[in-house]
Amino acid sequence: MIWLSDAFEAIRDFMNLGGPVLRLIALTIFIMWVLIVERIMFFRTGMKEMATDIRDSWESRPERRSWNAEQIREMMISEFSMAANKGISMIKTLVALCPLFGLLGTVTGMIKVFEVMAVSGSGNVRAMAAGVSQATVPTMAGMVGALSGVLLVTILSRRATQEVAFLEDSLTMDH
């Protein structure tokens, strides 16, 4: 269990190194990953069941050629599309926020450096280094968070689009 306390201590030190903006970035990345994992779980379980239920409901209809049947088909596809794409726009927003929060960390860190320079001149290198680390660590964290999210949100978006297209193709109008 010593390794666990060492890990928590290392995380605490890293968070302190990056300043308050790093906590905001960490929260943003955490929420983004919770939403990504939820979408992955839905794609593996709930989406398949929903598609099967929609196909069964459509196939059990006595007629599938009328205007009413076409509207019902469109409604089913639309409901499936909404369920498949639920939360993806929020994930995209969080991905876009990560580098912006990183930039905010850069600005606040540089302000700290300039405050140190204003008070003690450029002679206090140790105090300036703390500001520089507060400027660079959030930038790096924001970029890492955004990069990890970009890849997965692209995969999730493509998968949702493919599943909706596949369902649309499988709901035939003939009978």
Residues 44-86: pLDDT tens digits?
998 989 999 988 888 888 887 888 888 888 999 999 999 999 9
Instruction: Give helix then strand counts, H and E, for the chain.
Output: 6, 0
Average pLDDT over residues 109-114: 81
**If pLDDT is split at 50, 70 and 90, which confidence band does 22 have?**
confident
Neighbouring residues of 109: CB distance < 8 A, sequence distance ≥ 6: 19, 131, 132, 133, 134, 135, 136, 138
Q: Are 23 and 15 contacting, i.e. CB atoms less than 8 angstroms apart? A: yes
**Helices 125-170 and 67-85, packing angle to 10 deg:** 160
Contacts 24+ apart (CB under 8 A), 11-14: 14/137
The answer to whether the pTM exceeds 0.85 is no
- How high is the pLDDT of residue 66? 85
d(CA 65, CA 60): 13
> When comparing pLDDT for 123 and 44, which is higher?
44
d(CA 142, CA 138): 6
> When comparing pLDDT for 17 and 44, which is higher?
44
- How high is the pLDDT of residue 138? 87
- How high is the pLDDT of residue 32? 95
